[in-house]
């Protein structure tokens, strides 16, 4: 750290808030690693707090809350700020803090809790065993001796402003992607119902069962003793789900080439254009086989659909993601089943337009999916750049020059 920057204990710049709920606040927050401080009922779709909230801690606008519990990607817990403006409550297991405004600008601590100094000092404060019941094993008094970087106020202001602009761009990208995903869902529903202007339903659309236009089956059983470390890839439901979502997967399991050839000769193997759909547990994830590269899959947990010449593979894939499919994936009591059988899938009804219309629908949805994919990639790249930029700013690897001040609003 330069002479102008300090490294200070947390207790120098925050104070612990111990106000309990003595005046009837009813809104309860939880701390999410991905979403920050969020309304508990919104996050869990139900209230999970105790009925008696008297011992819960009050969180005012601007207060910080430390959740010591481990979250994936956040081994040292999560600190989140109440940015919403509404006073709420958190579990007494959380630590509530408030910045000392004469030492830090609004927003600086949001960044400083990501610093190397904070993370390394917190790791050093962990007691033997590291964790107790999934939470960091750090005494309350020790936690407030964790270290944070503290530059002069003008430097804080430049860094906070710069990161605010980056975060705003990230938020806009996320909002654009999420809005397009909602539009996509509506478009898919309309397209498969024949409600698009350039693909309207007419007498040429046919309603039939899947078994009339596809062959639905599964594989021959491959015993666990026949699984190998190399050879022809052998996929279970989890790998099909990854292939459906990302188009690639690193297979852990294989079968010997000679075994694959025997299966091909006796009962056939999946070919280009066939679809594999997960059928046990997580059902409905669908992969269209893009080429002739050999592969095989686990029986029962994956179903194999070979379309006839009257239906496009990708039209089927989009149908498997639509309400037309999911409305038929129900049990007798109206709940979604956790197993999809060959018989049940074969007897599902599907509306099929002429092939040119199928191709227009597939082309439309593919273009929308590509837009969503590009926005997601841009969001991920910017997010990674943000992480690297913040690390450099907090370590002084990059300095925001004082000339940046000319871009900032004048402070009275």
Determine how β-strand 296-297 pairs with β-strand 232-235. parallel
HSE-up of residue 61 (Cα within 13 Å, Cβ side): 4
Q: Is 333 among the domain residues?
A: yes
Of the given ranges (40-54, 219-233, 351-365, 374-388), which has the lowest mean pLDDT? 40-54
Domain coverage including residue 40 = 6-150
pLDDT digits (tens, 9 = 90+) for 239-278: 999 999 999 999 999 999 999 999 999 999 999 999 999 9
Q: Is 245 among the domain residues?
A: yes
Task: Assess whether 119 and 221 both reside in one domain.
Answer: no
Instruction: State the pLDDT confidence band at 3, using cuts at 50, 70 and 90.
Output: low
CA distance 28 to 57: 10
In percent, the amount of the chain with pLDDT more than 70 equals 94
Task: Assess whether 142 and 211 both reside in one domain.
Answer: no
Task: Assess whether 131 and 256 both reside in one domain.
Answer: no
Residue 128 has pLDDT above 50, yes or no: no
pLDDT digits (tens, 9 = 90+) for 73-93: 888 899 999 997 789 999 999
HSE-up of residue 256 (Cα within 13 Å, Cβ side): 7
Task: Assess whether 226 and 335 both reside in one domain.
Answer: yes
Residue 332 has pLDDT above 70, yes or no: no
Q: Is 401 among the domain residues?
A: no
CB atoms within 10 A of CB 353: 22
Q: Is 156 among the domain residues?
A: no
Ramachandran angles phi, psi of 391, nearest 5°: -60, -40
pLDDT of res. 162:
96
Task: Assess whether 89 and 226 both reside in one domain.
Answer: no
- 215's enclosing H/E stretch is strand 214-217
In percent, the amount of the chain with pLDDT more than 90 equals 75
Residue 131 has pLDDT above 60, yes or no: no
HSE-up of residue 129 (Cα within 13 Å, Cβ side): 9
Among 352, 387, 405, give the residue marking a domain's end. Answer: 352
Query: Got the DSSP string for 221-274?
Result: P--GGG-BSSSEEEE-HHHHHHHHHHS----S-EE-HHHHHHHHHHT----TT-
pLDDT of res. 33:
86
Task: Assess whether 139 and 214 both reside in one domain.
Answer: no
Q: Is 166 among the domain residues?
A: no
Among 337, 352, 367, give the residue marking a domain's end. Answer: 352
Cα 258 versus chain centre, distance: 40
Q: Is 132 among the domain residues?
A: yes
Q: Is 37 among the domain residues?
A: yes
Q: Is 381 among the domain residues?
A: no
Total number of domains constituting the chain: 2
Say which CATH number the domain at 275 has. 3.90.220.20
Task: Assess whether 136 and 210 both reside in one domain.
Answer: no
Across-strand partners of 212? Answer: none
Say which CATH number the domain at 84 has. 3.90.220
Task: Assess whether 110 and 246 both reside in one domain.
Answer: no
Residue of 257 and 68 predicted with greater confidence: 257
Among 150, 166, 184, give the residue marking a domain's end. Answer: 150
Instruction: State the pLDDT confidence band at 129, using cuts at 50, 70 and 90.
Output: very low
Task: Assess whether 249 and 321 both reside in one domain.
Answer: yes
Residue 1 has pLDDT above 60, yes or no: no
Task: Assess whether 240 and 311 both reside in one domain.
Answer: yes
What Cα–Cα distance (Å) separates residue 1 from each residue in 148, 152, 317, 396? 11, 12, 56, 7
pLDDT digits (tens, 9 = 90+) for 276-302: 999 998 999 999 999 999 999 999 899
Burial class of 196 by CB neighbour count within 10 A (0 to 12, 13 to 18, 19+): middle
CA distance 352 to 5: 68
Task: Assess whether 141 and 218 both reside in one domain.
Answer: no
Task: Assess whether 321 and 228 both reside in one domain.
Answer: yes
**pTM of the shown model:** 0.83
């Amino acid at each position: 750290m330069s002479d102008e920057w300090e490294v200070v204990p947390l207790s120098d710049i925050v104070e612990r808030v111990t106000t309990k709920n003595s005046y009837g606040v009813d809104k309860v927050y939880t701390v999410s690693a991905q979403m920050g401080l969020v309304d508990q009922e919104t996050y869990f779709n139900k209230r999970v707090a105790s009925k008696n909230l008297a011992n819960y801690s009050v969180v005012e606008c601007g207060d910080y809350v430390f959740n010591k519990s481990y979250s994936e990607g956040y081994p040292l817990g999560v600190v989140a700020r109440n940015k919403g403006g509404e006073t709420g409550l958190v579990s007494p297991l959380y630590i509530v803090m408030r910045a000392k405004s004469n030492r830090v600008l609004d927003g600086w601590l949001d960044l400083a809790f990501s610093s190397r100094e904070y993370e390394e000092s917190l790791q050093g404060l962990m007691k033997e065993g590291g964790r107790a019941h999934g939470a960091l094993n750090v005494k309350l008094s020790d936690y407030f001796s964790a270290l944070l970087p503290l530059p002069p106020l003008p430097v804080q202001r430049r860094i906070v402003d710069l990161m605010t602009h980056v975060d705003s761009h990230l938020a806009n990208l996320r909002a654009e992607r999420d809005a397009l995903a909602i539009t996509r869902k509506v478009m898919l529903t309309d397209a498969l119902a024949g409600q698009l202007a350039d693909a309207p339903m007419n007498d040429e659309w046919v309603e039939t069962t899947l078994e009339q236009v596809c062959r639905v089956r599964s594989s021959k059983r491959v015993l666990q003793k026949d699984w190998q470390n190399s050879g022809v890839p052998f996929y279970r439901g989890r790998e099909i789900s990854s292939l459906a979502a990302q188009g690639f997967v690193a297979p852990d399991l294989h079968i010997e080439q000679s075994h694959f050839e025997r299966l091909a000769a006796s009962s056939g193997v999946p070919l280009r254009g066939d679809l594999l759909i997960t059928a046990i547990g997580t059902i409905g994830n669908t992969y269209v086989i893009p080429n002739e590269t050999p592969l095989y899959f686990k029986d029962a947990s994956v179903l194999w659909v070979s379309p006839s010449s009257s239906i496009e593979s990708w039209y089927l894939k989009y149908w498997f993601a639509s309400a037309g499919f999911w409305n038929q994936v129900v049990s007798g009591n109206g709940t979604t089943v956790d197993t999809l059988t060959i018989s049940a899938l074969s007897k599902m009804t599907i509306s099929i337009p002429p092939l040119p219309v199928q191709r227009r629908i597939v082309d439309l949805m593919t273009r929308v999916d590509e837009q969503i994919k590009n926005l997601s990639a841009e969001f991920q790249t910017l997010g990674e750049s943000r992480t690297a930029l913040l690390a450099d700013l907090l370590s002084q690897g990059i300095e925001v020059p004082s000339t940046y001040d000319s871009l900032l609003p004048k402070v009275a």
